[in-house]
Chain A
Amino acid sequence: MIGFRIESRSNVVPYLQLVEQVRRALRTGFLEPGDKLPTVREVAESVSINPNTVLKAYRQLEHEGLVEGRPGLGTFVVRSLAGPALASHAMLRRELRAWLGKARTAGLEPEDIEALFGTTLHAFESEGAA
């Protein structure tokens, strides 16, 4: 089952952080249709946040058609965001880990790596669009 966390220093409001964590889990295949999300109480207690925030996140996910509340049973995933590319994830992750190893050896800090990845991805996307 998915475990949530709240990044206090993030500029993203807490309920959207929860929404984004579910979307990410759906994209990576960690959550699949039929899976049950933790109850509002479980999230409020484990993350130690206002239950109204959790409700708001679940309502948003429901509105997006990703989950469905079943009265008395809980909230369930009804749609996946994992594309057909999911099968290639394992191999790509292995290659990425190898690349990260090279980057660390070359002396890059995690922040340098994120910046390099971000700018390269951005450039790659805009070339593709052009």
Chain B
Amino acid sequence: MTAALETTALSKRYGRAWALRDCTLSIPSGRVAAVVGPNGAGKTTLMRLAVGLHRPTRGSVCVFGRAPRDDADSRARIGFVGQETPLYRDLSVADHLEMGRRLNGDAWDGTSAIGRLSKLSIPLERRAGELSGGQRAQVALTIALAKRPDLLVLDEPVASLDPLARRTFLSELMGEVATRQLSVLLSSHVIADLEHRCDHLVILSKARIQVLGDVDDLLESHRVLIGPTTSELPDAVVVSSHEIGRQRTILVRSDQPVDAPGWAVEPIALEDLVLAYLSDPESGHLPGPEGRA
């Protein structure tokens, strides 16, 4: 099956600074992929390249096999919500829908858009400037979905929302993923929001991919080991290590079950896995040749 998003050595330079370097990844169709990383790591650049708003300096990006920058048909299959959930302050919600209908023609699904908004009790006559942050995010998502996209790209869509509005937004998103064969690329700083919702993970650090893979595979291949500092290190890749007094806690990666006498072996949560890699930008994990199939 054609990947929803595939990049090869994708790079973008602004002046002298590389915003993204040698980014090679493939996200299968129907997946929800999370993009995480510190500010300035290249998340927004990757997303804007994926939707065709930027032209790569080097390398290539394909959405369902076609380059979005040069191909309007390909862009028609992409829904995008930028970081500021941009809406026109003085236009009403209904005006936004009308604009979407005129710009998108036959593909526009106005009926389900109105249905979504009424379910969320968002008044169509209300001006965008008078909506709450959560409502604005929902309107932006509704417009992106009304295009009937095959790939939805969301750059920090829940950043400005309160916890309840975040949950509502993400629950709606999960429902939409279930309903249509929708692939999602989603960036967020709130890792807890991604847990159980994303099945693919991309960690960016300093303009490069630091970790890439299927979430279940990553969680399965990583273990937290807790033991006395005197215990011998097991036969596995040590991602991070911390000592408090006589106790040492290490995060290890291994494709085999970890055999570690003298250590308590525990599974790891997604948030802790992400934080461990983020706090040590030198460690990294990319799929091997067999993982690229």
Does chain A have a CB within 8 A of B267? yes
B side interface size, CB within 8 A: 22
Flag B146-189 by CB within 8 Å of A: 1 or 0 each: 00000000000000000000010011101101110000000000
Q: Mark the stretch among B51-59, B87-95, B190-198 that contacts chain A.
A: B190-198
Contact of A13 among B31, B167, B175, B216 (CB under 8 A): B216
CB atoms of B195 and A51 under 8 A apart: no
Return the chain B residue nearest A11 by Cβ.
Answer: B267
Residues of chain B with a CB closer than 8 A to A44's CB: 171, 174-175, 177-178
Residues of chain A with a CB closer than 8 A to B178's CB: 39-41, 44-45, 51, 54
CB atoms of B269 and A49 under 8 A apart: no
Does chain A have a CB within 8 A of B199? yes
Give the size category of A's interface with B.
Answer: 10 to 19
Residues of chain A with a CB closer than 8 A to B170's CB: 48
Give complex CA distance A40, B266 in Å.
30
CB atoms of B269 and A50 under 8 A apart: no
CB atoms of B179 and A53 under 8 A apart: no
CB atoms of A52 and B199 under 8 A apart: yes
Does chain A have a CB within 8 A of B36? no
B residues near A (Cβ < 8 Å) are 30-32, 167, 170-172, 174-175, 177-179, 195-199, 216, 219, 266-267, 269
Q: A41-B175, A50-B177, A52-B31 are in contact. List 6 more A-B contacts (CB 8 A).
A: A8-B195, A8-B269, A39-B178, A49-B197, A52-B199, A53-B196
